[in-house]
Amino acid sequence: MKETLPLAYSSVKPSWSRKPIFLNVCLIVIVLLWLEIFKPSLNHTILLSRPMADVCPQQEAYDPREALGDLQIHRPSVKESVQLLSEAVQINTSVGDGWPDPDKEPDRWNDIFSPFASWIETSFPLIHAEKSPVTREFVHQHGLLYTWKGSDESLKPLVLMSHQDVVPVEQNTANQWTHPPFSGYVDLETQTVWGRGAVDCKLWLVSSLSSIESLLQSGFQPRRTVILSYGFDEESDGHQGASHIARFLEDRYGSQSIGMIVDEGLPVLSKTDYGSYGVPIALPSVDEKGALNIHMVATARGGHSSMPPPHTSIGIMSSIVATLEAHPFPDLIGDESRPSIQLLQCTRDGPLMPRALREALVRLEWAETLAQPSMAAWRHRSMPRWQKIWEWAHTSSLHQRRIEQARRRLIQALDARTRTLLRTTQAVDLIHGGIKVNALPERTEAMVNHRIAPYSSVNEVLSRYCSLITPLAREMQFALTIDGDELVPASNNTLAHVTISKRGLATDTHAASPFRGPDADPFRLLSQVIRQTWHIDQPPVTLGSLDEDTLPPSSNEWKESIRVSPATMYANTDTRWYHNLTDQIFRFGPMSLHPFLTGKSPFQHVHTVDEHVSIDSIVKATEFYTNLVIAVNHETV
């Protein structure tokens, strides 16, 4: 019988069935529907702008009627206010760095500040009258401390600060000024007063004195003690002035004994000023950046330039500077950056804000909102089940990752100048080396100024020097010591010695004064007074002629109050010495909310050529201090 090959296909039925496949598919579909896999995740459904009232809450403008009762406040005329500032600017109170203690070399200081103190005494006669309720004290020779004692000693005092000194004028730039730097020139065409100190800081010194003078003339009697504190070397870190005044006040009143401090600070921005994005806004600073000056010295063998080493001390210092500038501090936003973020959020609706920046702010607002415990129940209801399960498995880090991602997006949307204000900065401001072109430089020095972001510290800046300069020292064969630590010891091959150390005052950022929550009553009251003083619909105060002696118009008839936001002061003030006295410290520069007729932003000319201030700023500053004293006298801080 012939054998047959097996068939390719068998007639035997397979053991499997299509029915289980159908059941499995149905089960998968049911699970996907239960997980709500087709429902969009929460992140994609909520990127809608929150109301400005939520992200930038505003206080009602302060109403002084109850505080004043029947009392009518006399205010100085526009002409009087302008003349006072003009005269103050004409007295040169320039102070340099590193001046000796006034107890050791009194003549240098007396020549500058004794004439200014005499002018103040003559210009404000009621404050200095024999029977005046205001007392004047000199602290460490030239620190001015005025005390108007209140009737209720249980109320913590209000301290208004300023400083008498100004930054020196570079002699080779004196002829570049539109008007001479110490002329105090009153320009009626542009409605400005010109000169060094017209803004920083005689504007606020004269205005605060004027407010007390006018309150005395009006018969005002404070319940709360009012103190005026004027240092005399703020531009040189305040070692001789503010530090002594702060200790004097602490000895008299005790630690944490002051209700509120208001010092110089960020200004009122007009709609054309950088950072306003077209929204007039006032910026009382609740903190300020830390500060650190670094002194770098490179010493090397001298000799004739015909026999140079591989690197001179100037070459080594140049490489160090180049390394620093090639590695700027990173752009970061930390939890401590909240005041700066709040400022951006308060201008989010500005007509000049770029769309990408506005969208980045909205993303950050929602990322922070979703991280709040109060949002947990709403998030849970709004999420599809698959996202609930995923977030449950990643709860510990999800919200922080979302916030960090939104912060990175925000940094990318910011322009370079704003990123600079947020991060730790470095500026090589001084450098010197060598004495002759054919002699090897034996010593080269450089100074670097740092303004330290609120999330960083002095130690972190020093650590960065260690990590950047140590490899360079090994490569270029120089010994290196940083802040007393010998990181690269000298050897037979050493070409130079480099020492990097702190110079002068080194300060970290202190915690921000409360601007929200139960401890923020002082900030809220300050905001109310600012909104009482500045109105967007109020035209600028002007002076028609130097013979005109009219009173400034009242602000009561205007309705559209300016917006207020907390901010971080990017420079440093004398308040750095006052933190033992209170945690309610604000830095605010009362000025005009209107663009200057010169077309120049006032803060671009502080510490440089053509410092000037508008007449409206002078009047508004005096009005602000008067309103603040009245409000703080009546309210709780």
The reply to whether 187 belongs to the active site is no
Sorted by where each starts, the structural domains of the chain and their CATH numbers stand as 64-94+112-288+511-633 (3.40.630.10), 290-330+423-507 (3.30.70.360)
3-class state of residue 534 by DSSP: coil
pLDDT of the residue at 147? 98
At 134, the pLDDT band (50, 70, 90 cuts) reads very high
DSSP code per residue over 479-513 = EEEETTEEEE---TT--EEEEEEE-S--BPPPPPP
Stretch 68-88: mean pLDDT, rounded? 96
**Over 90: is that where the pLDDT of 152 sits?**
yes
* Predicted pLDDT at 44: 42
Answer yes or no: 130 catalytic: no
Helix/strand/coil (H/E/C) assignment for every residue in 450-480? EEECCCCCHHHHHHHHHHHHHHHHHHHCEEE
Per-residue model confidence (pLDDT) at position 45: 42
* Torsion sign over Cα 214, 219, 224, 227: positive
Which has the closest alpha carbon to 241: 251, 249, 231, 250?
231
Pairing of strands 158-163, 226-231: parallel
How far apart CA 269 and CA 593 sit, in angstroms, is: 6
Q: Which of 321, 288, 350, 330 is nearest to 511 (CA)?
A: 288
Neighbours of 246 (CB within 10 A): 24
Query: What count of other Cβ atoms lies within 10 Å of the Cβ of residue 32?
Result: 12
DSSP string, 418-448: HHHHHS-EEEEEEEEE-S-TTB--SEEEEEE
148 neighbors 225 (Cβ within 8 angstroms): yes
Secondary structure element (H or E) that encloses residue 138, with its range: strand 134-139
| 360 phi and psi angles, rounded to 5 deg | -65, -40
Least confident segment among 36-40, 368-372, 444-448, 623-627: 36-40
CA distance 107 to 201: 23
Q: Can you tell me which residue has the tokens 């002594």?
A: 244
The H or E element spanning position 618 is helix 615-634
Using the 8-state DSSP alphabet, how is residue 206 labeled?
Answer: H
Beta-bridged to residue 162, according to DSSP, are 230
415 marked as part of a ligand binding site:
no
Known binding residue 311? Answer is no
Residue 420 pLDDT greater than 80, yes or no: yes
> What's residue 18's pLDDT?
64
Give the pLDDT band of residue 554 (cuts 50, 70, 90). confident
Between the two ends of the chain, the Cα-to-Cα distance in Å is 117
Mean pLDDT of 393-401: 66
Task: Decide if pLDDT at 24 tops 80.
Answer: no
Query: What is the three-class DSSP state of 229?
Result: strand
> Within 10 A of 205 (CB to CB), how many other CB atoms are there?
24
CA angle 265, 270, 276 (to 5 degrees): 80
pLDDT tens-digit map of 436-481: 999 999 999 999 999 999 999 999 999 999 999 999 999 999 999 9
Q: Which of 63, 66, 101, 165 is catalytic?
A: 165
Contact 592, 540 (CB under 8 A): yes
* Residue 634 assigned to a binding site: no
Backbone angles phi, psi at 282, to 5 degrees: -100, 140
Does 335 count as an annotated binding residue? no
Of 213, 233, 234, 288, catalytic: 234
Q: Report d(CA 161, CA 144) in Å as an integer.
A: 10
Q: pLDDT for 255-309, tens place per residue? A: 999 999 999 999 999 999 999 999 999 999 999 999 999 999 999 999 999 999 9
Of 234, 221, 201, 419, the closest CA to residue 330 belongs to 419
Closest Cα partner for 313 from 431, 436, 433? 433
pLDDT score recorded for residue 374: 62
Whether pLDDT at 70 is above 70 = yes
Tokens of 455: 């999330």
Percent of residues, the chain, with pLDDT higher than 90: 81
Q: What's the CA gap between 253 and 71, in Å, rounded?
A: 30
Q: Which residues contact 30 (CB under 8 A, 6 or more apart)?
A: none
Name which residue leads in pLDDT, 151 or 397. 151
In the block, residue with structure tokens 């909102």: 369
State the Cα–Cα distance between residues 572 and 285, nearest whole angstrom: 11
- Average the pLDDT over 556-583 and give the result: 94
Q: Among 80, 75, 156, which residue's Cα sits nearest to residue 533?
A: 75
Residue 534, Cβ density class (10 Å: 0-12 exposed, 13-18 middle, ≥19 buried): buried
Residue 240 per-residue DSSP state: T
Mean per-residue pLDDT, 140-168? 98
What is the CB-side half-sphere exposure of residue 265 using CA atoms within 13 A? 24
With beta carbons less than 8 A apart as the criterion, state whether 579 and 557 touch.
Answer: no
Ligand-binding site membership of 107 (annotated): no
The H or E element containing residue 146 is strand 143-148
Q: Which pLDDT tens digit goes with each residue over 37-55? A: 665 555 544 455 678 888 9
Q: How far is 632 from 184, CA to CA, in rounded Å? A: 33
Query: Cβ(339)–Cβ(515) under 8 Å?
Result: yes
